[in-house]
């Protein structure tokens, strides 16, 4: 009798396991932006495009959709969510024309950026320099790198680990304000700082 009961429990467990989804995907909200994800499996696919939409893929590759809410996500995945790294922080600092000198306003912002960066254990800082379209392309490439390196050095001088600060230059390739050539645009003379 005990053997039959054990077999019945094992069969029930196997049947229940067959019903459980092999994969579950939940689209979490992203403040300030809309997102979507496509879930594909052997027997179908679907697009999740609204916050808390979910798709479950069965062991047989069938896709079923449903919705959930913040409370259920917290209950089911709370420990996982707590372990995920914080979203990257983004900052922009500006320069005076033709130099690698920060404007006074941007210079004043730097300490606040560093305070936020050092609050992240193991955080890294990526500094990307940019120019406006004044001057020749190769000169702007060099100036954008010089700007990024100058901010990198300011960050290091204020106590941030040099191994965790990366500088790169993009020249005039990625303007915030698209302009014709030889246009003095203050918003394009910048470094973008990403803190991860």
- Answer whether residue 13 is part of any domain: no
- The parts of the chain modelled with pLDDT lower than 50 are 1-17
- Answer whether residue 166 is part of any domain: yes
- Answer whether residue 177 is part of any domain: yes
Q: Which domain holds residue 51?
A: 21-83
Residue 113 and residue 188 share a domain? yes
Which pLDDT belongs to residue 13?
A: 37
Residue 46 and residue 31 share a domain? yes
Which pLDDT belongs to residue 67?
A: 94
Residue 65 and residue 32 share a domain? yes
Which pLDDT belongs to residue 1?
A: 39
Last residue of a domain, one of 49, 66, 83: 83
Residue 93 and residue 58 share a domain? no
- Asked if residue 68 lies in contact with residue 50, where contact means CB atoms within 8 angstroms, the answer is no
Strands ordered across the beta sheet of 23-26 = 23-26, 53-57, 63-67
**76 contact partners, CB below 8 Å, separation of at least 6:** none
Residue 156 and residue 115 share a domain? yes
Residue 95 and residue 57 share a domain? no
Q: How far apart are CA 195 and CA 87, in angstroms?
A: 9
Which pLDDT belongs to residue 12?
A: 36
- Answer whether residue 125 is part of any domain: yes
Residue 59 and residue 26 share a domain? yes
Which pLDDT belongs to residue 61?
A: 87
Q: What is the CATH number of the domain that holds 177?
A: 3.30.1330.60
Helix (H) or strand (E) holding 184: none
Q: How many CA atoms lie within 13 A of 46 on its CB side?
A: 19
- Asked if residue 167 lies in contact with residue 151, where contact means CB atoms within 8 angstroms, the answer is yes
14 φψ region: left (φ > 0), alpha (ψ -120 to 50), beta (else): alpha
Q: How many domains does the chain have?
A: 2
Residue 93 and residue 190 share a domain? yes
Q: How far apart are CA 61 and CA 45, in angstroms?
A: 10
Which pLDDT belongs to residue 60?
A: 87
Residue 112 and residue 38 share a domain? no
Residue 51 and residue 101 share a domain? no
């Amino acid at each position: 009798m005990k053997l039959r009961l054990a077999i019945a429990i094992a069969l029930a467990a196997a049947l229940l396991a067959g019903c459980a989804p092999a994969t579950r995907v939940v689209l979490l909200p992203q403040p300030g932006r809309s997102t979507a994800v496509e879930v594909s499996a052997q027997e179908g696919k679907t697009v999740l495009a609204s916050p808390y939409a979910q798709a479950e893929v069965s062991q047989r590759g069938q896709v079923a959709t449903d919705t959930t809410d913040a409370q259920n996500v917290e209950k089911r995945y709370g420990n996982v969510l707590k372990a995920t790294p914080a979203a990257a922080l983004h900052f922009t600092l500006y320069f005076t024309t033709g130099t690698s000198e920060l404007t006074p306003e941007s210079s004043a912002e730097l300490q606040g950026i560093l305070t936020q960066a050092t609050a992240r254990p193991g955080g890294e800082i990526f500094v990307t320099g940019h120019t406006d379209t004044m001057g020749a392309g190769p000169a702007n490439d060099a100036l954008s790198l010089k700007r990024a390196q100058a901010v990198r050095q300011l960050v290091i001088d204020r106590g941030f680990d040099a191994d965790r600060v990366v500088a790169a230059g993009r020249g005039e390739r990625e303007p915030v304000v698209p302009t014709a050539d030889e246009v003095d645009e203050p918003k394009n003379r910048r470094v973008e700082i990403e803190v991860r």
